[in-house]
Amino acid sequence: MNSDLTTLFYPNSIAVVGVSSDPRKLSSIFFTNLIDAGYKGGLYPVNPKYDNLFGYQCYKSVSSIPNEVDQVAILIPSQFVLDVVKDCAAKGVKSIMIISAGFGESGPEGEALEQEVVKVAKEAGIRILGPNIIGVVNTAFKLNSSWMQLFPKEGNISFLSQSGAFCTAILDISLRRNLGFYNFCSVGNKADINELDLINHWYKDEKAKVIGAYLEEIAHGYDLHKYLSITDPIKPIILLKPGRSEEAVKAIASHTGSLAGTSEIIDALVSQTNIVYTESSNELLDDLMSFSWSKQVKGNRVAVITNAGGPGIMATDAIVGNGLEMAQLSETTKEELKKILPAAASVHNPVDVLGDASADRYQQASDIVLKDENVDAVMFILTPQYITEIEDTAKTIIRLKRFSAKPLFAVFLGQKYVDIGIERLFDAHVPVFNEIEFAAKAISDLYGFHQMLNSRDLDTNSKIFNDFESLINKGIYNQEIEHHASKGDGVSVPDTLAFKMAKESGLDMPAQELCTNLDQAKLFAGAHFPVVVKIPNEFLAHKTEEKALKVNIKDEEELATAFSELHATLDKIGQSGKPLLVQEMIKAEQEFFIGSNRDGDSTVYNGGKSGFGHLIVYGQGGIYTEIFKDLTHTLVPASRTMFEAKLAKTKIDKILNGARGLEPLAKDKVIDALMAVQKLVALYPKIASLDINPLLVTQDRAVAVDIKIYLKQ
């Protein structure tokens, strides 16, 4: 399959199938859009009913066009599309856009038709965009190969959307902001070309500085995670993804299913790659604007210059709340500010230049603050007071941005009277906001991206993925796992097998034995008192509610009592005569939780598959794990450093480090356990879900005393 998307965005010739003499038809709008945008390549309307359309010779079919055809746009009912694609294959067309709907989104028949269309195209080496799309735009090539009414201003943003209508909405808002785009692309059903193809194309294109994306689902999550981790040059990807509240698929009887769903996967992906997540269309536009227009935010110390005290306080909350810092102005800066500001003004950060501030006062204060080495970025706040020079203050900020090495951001609060200043700032490509919180979030996103750039290690990332993939399906117990998995989805792995798999991966496990009678238990326990006796997971997954766990058993008498009570429980749950598990007792200082849930099927790591693979969730353990949810999430594979960084964001990390004067616990062993779980799911990708609850942490060990493993093909 041809991976080059050049003919999608830079076609030398385009045929549009389905053009009509009715200018109101979508196909006619599509064709005339190409003309109106100034496209200079060959244009060929295709419709057997006409000889000429809109001043162009019309052809009966694509194959009847005498010249080469790079791109074909199809706008006809879905039932006729396959024949056109076959005709395109005979002609040697390089790319096809199926604008028409009525395919996979419409039901099984449409899905079958979509697959047949893609099959024919693949055999001919043709790339397909769609079906069910709006088209593509390339401002640098005067190409509007879409039915969008408007044409964007030229810029450095490439944007893809799973919704064609959302493209039109973003374009409409962007025109008011004077925000320029390089490419627009609607991906629709993603039958062939998907977001990873487009990101790969734009990574290689120097004209694309920023990538924006609206995605309702991500086609090949693991492949995207890998690509973004090991590929240069890196570019910011601003993502809006709805549907985060969608209920995740849960493994039977597994805690982890409810703790590692769609939302957590996206959060992990964002934290481990160059994706910047946004929660609304306005936030998406704010970040596209900021990444497109702003200088890099290389530090997190923000100075605020405002003509109102209240908004200054609001800015302080927003800046700190978004993980930034209020810059500590130097004494020299404060003394200089005192010389030029009224006595009632505040020379501390936020710098309050007062409600009667002229544009000149903003200018003088800015000149001083921008020289302070403790300041990394400046946020200007303006409120429309009686004598506020709104337009002149905007011009002042524009001049400052032109000559300042530091990034500047403006917040003009209000609507009617501040609009003239906002328009000026938009026209001059100064990031300007109507809400303080939006500005702080954008600055934080820019700073976070800069941090990621500096910490990224391509060689290390490549090794992590290579090492992980070298382990796939290499577990020594895979034959047994295959046997159990064949029994159906959600089947649990017997405790003895789970124990062996865990030991193979490097997990620290307690000494244990599955005992069919009391004499066997006494023989094992004699060398390990105190011990724990429990009903195995394959017979009862959650033990607390059923009192299926007996701890701190110190002698044979207590052991006999425990056996008697637990056998009664086995009778109660219909598992009479089943063996019991006896383990050495680990006296722990802290209970920790590790779980993993697989997104996609067990072939997810083979390339070109749906799903992200295994997400590892970890944090505070015990019976209240799901209540406290002091947890964090990491997509595999990840480095030891990544696990440590994620763990540092939990409250339990402080306990592991030795809170309130207590001795530190074996945090390094906890990280060892996380790395072992990562190895375990690589060795056995048929693991759909696993729980280690608890991982008992002492000052020198982190022991997985209970591990539940569930399988799915």
Query: pLDDT tens digits for 37-83?
Result: 999 999 999 999 999 999 999 999 999 999 999 999 999 999 999 99
Token pair belonging to 562: 């425990």
| 449 phi and psi angles, rounded to 5 deg | -65, -40
Other beta carbons within 10 Å of 370: 18
Residue 256's pLDDT is: 41
Is the domain covering 457-509+586-713 a CATH 3.30.470.20 domain?
yes
Amino acid residing at 189: N
Determine the Cα–Cα distance for residues 211 and 217; give it in Å rounded to an integer.
17
- According to CATH, where is 3.40.50.720 located in the chain? 6-246
| Integer Cα distance of 138 and 95 in angstroms | 15
Token reading at 454: 């500096």
589-623 pLDDT, tens per residue? 899 999 999 999 999 999 999 999 999 999 999 87
Q: What is the DSSP string of 533-566?
A: EE--TTT-S--TTTT-EEEEE-SHHHHHHHHHHH
pLDDT computed for residue 251 by the predictor: 36
Query: Model-level pTM?
Result: 0.92
How many C-alpha atoms does 464 have within 13 Å on its Cβ side?
A: 23
Look at residue 260 and tell me whether its pLDDT is greater than 80. no
pLDDT in tens, 491-513: 889 988 999 999 999 999 999 99
> Binning pLDDT at 50, 70 and 90, where does residue 543 land?
low
User: CB neighbours of 485 closer than 8 A, spacing ≥ 6?
Assistant: 491, 686, 711, 712, 713
Question: How high is the pLDDT of residue 537?
Answer: 80
Instruction: Give the chain's mean pLDDT.
Output: 93
Could you count the other beta carbons within 10 Å of the beta carbon of residue 660?
A: 6
Answer yes or no: is pLDDT of 578 > 60: yes
Q: What is the pLDDT of residues 188-199, one digit of tens each?
A: 999 999 999 999
Which H or E run contains 603?
none
Element holding 123 (H helix, E strand):
helix 108-123
Which H or E run contains 110?
Answer: helix 108-123
- The residues, any chain, with a CB within 8 Å of residue 671's CB and separated by 6 or more, are 640, 643, 644, 647
In percent, the amount of the chain with pLDDT more than 90 equals 84
**Nearest-5° Cα angle at 46, 42 to 48:** 145
User: Which parts of 322-474 fold into alpha helices (H)?
Assistant: 331-340, 359-370, 390-403, 419-427, 436-455, 458-470
Separation of alpha carbons 400 and 394, rounded Å: 10
CATH 3.40.50.261 placement within the chain: 298-454
pLDDT at 145 over 60: yes
Average pLDDT on 692-702 reads 94
Number of Cα atoms under 13 Å in the Cβ half of residue 193: 36
19 token code pair: 């053009």
User: What per-residue confidence (pLDDT) applies to 660?
Assistant: 78
Check residue 248 and give its pLDDT: 36
Q: Which helix (H) or strand (E) holds 95?
A: strand 95-98
Helix axis angle, 556-572 to 518-525, nearest 10°: 140
Strand partners, 532: 583
What is the arithmetic mean of pLDDT over 338-344?
97
- Rg value, the chain, Cα: 31
- DSSP β-bridge partners for residue 14: 43, 71
Q: What's residue 262's pLDDT?
A: 79
Q: How far is CA 329 from CA 99, 269, 365, in A?
A: 57, 36, 12
Residue type, 446: L
DSSP 220: T
Residues 6+ apart with CB under 8 A from 592: 618, 619, 620, 621, 652, 670, 673, 694, 695, 696, 697, 702
Q: Is 144 buried (19+), middle (13-18) or exposed (0-12) by CB count in 10 A?
A: buried
β-pair partners for 325:
301
Residue range 185-211: mean pLDDT, rounded: 96
Q: How far, CA to CA in Å, does 167 sit from each of 18, 139, 147, 232, 656?
A: 23, 15, 11, 27, 48
d(C-alpha 595, C-alpha 666), whole Å: 19
**58 contacts: CB under 8 Å, gap ≥ 6:** 19, 45, 46, 47, 50, 51, 52
What is the predicted pLDDT for the residue at 2? Answer: 61
Taking 90 as the threshold, does the pLDDT of residue 257 lie above it?
Answer: no
Helix, strand, coil in percent for the chain, rounding step 5: 40, 20, 40
CATH 3.10.290.10 fits 298-454, yes or no: no
* Average confidence (pLDDT) over 129-140: 96
Rounded Cα–Cα distance for residues 374 and 381 (Å): 20
The angle formed by the CA atoms of residues 592, 481 and 577, to the nearest 5 degrees, is 75
Secondary structure (DSSP) of 615-644:
EEEEEE-STTHHHH--EEEEESS--HHHHH
> Mean of the pLDDT values across residues 80-108?
96
Query: Rounded to an integer, what distance in angstroms lies between the CA atom of residue 122 and that of residue 545?
Result: 56
pLDDT-based confidence at 250, cuts 50/70/90?
very low
| pLDDT for residue 31 is more than 80 | yes
**Whole-angstrom distance, CA of residue 376 vs CA of residue 447:** 10
Please report, for the chain, how many H helices and E strands are present, in that order.
Answer: 25, 30
Q: In the numeric block, which tokens belong to residue 273?
A: 């790659």
Whether residue 393 has pLDDT greater than 60: yes
DSSP 365: H
Residue range 90-100: mean pLDDT, rounded? 97
Kindly indicate whether the domain formed by 6-246 is annotated with CATH number 3.40.50.740. Answer: no
At 544, is the pLDDT very low, low, confident or very high (cuts 50, 70, 90)? low
**Do residues 550 and 562 touch, judged by C-beta distance below 8 A?**
yes
Q: How far apart are CA 119 and CA 252, in angstroms?
A: 37
Peptide bond into 233 cis (omega under 30): yes
- Report which DSSP code applies to 193: -
The C-alpha angle with vertex 143 and arms to 137 and 146, in degrees rounded to 5, equals 50
**All CATH 3.30.470.20 domain ranges in the chain, comma separated:** 457-509+586-713
pLDDT(23) > 90: yes
Burial (CB count within 10 angstroms: exposed 0-12, middle 13-18, buried 19+), residue 189: buried
Q: Which CATH superfamily is domain 511-584 in?
A: ATP-grasp fold, A domain (3.30.1490.20)
Give the mean pLDDT of 536-559: 81
Over residues 336-353, the mean pLDDT reads 97
Cβ-Cβ contacts under 8 Å for 183 (sequence gap 6 or more): 9, 136, 137, 138, 139, 158, 159, 202, 208
**How far, in Å, CA of 43 to CA of 25, rounded?**
18
Helix (H, G, I), strand (E, B) or coil at 317: helix
pLDDT for the residue numbered 255 = 38
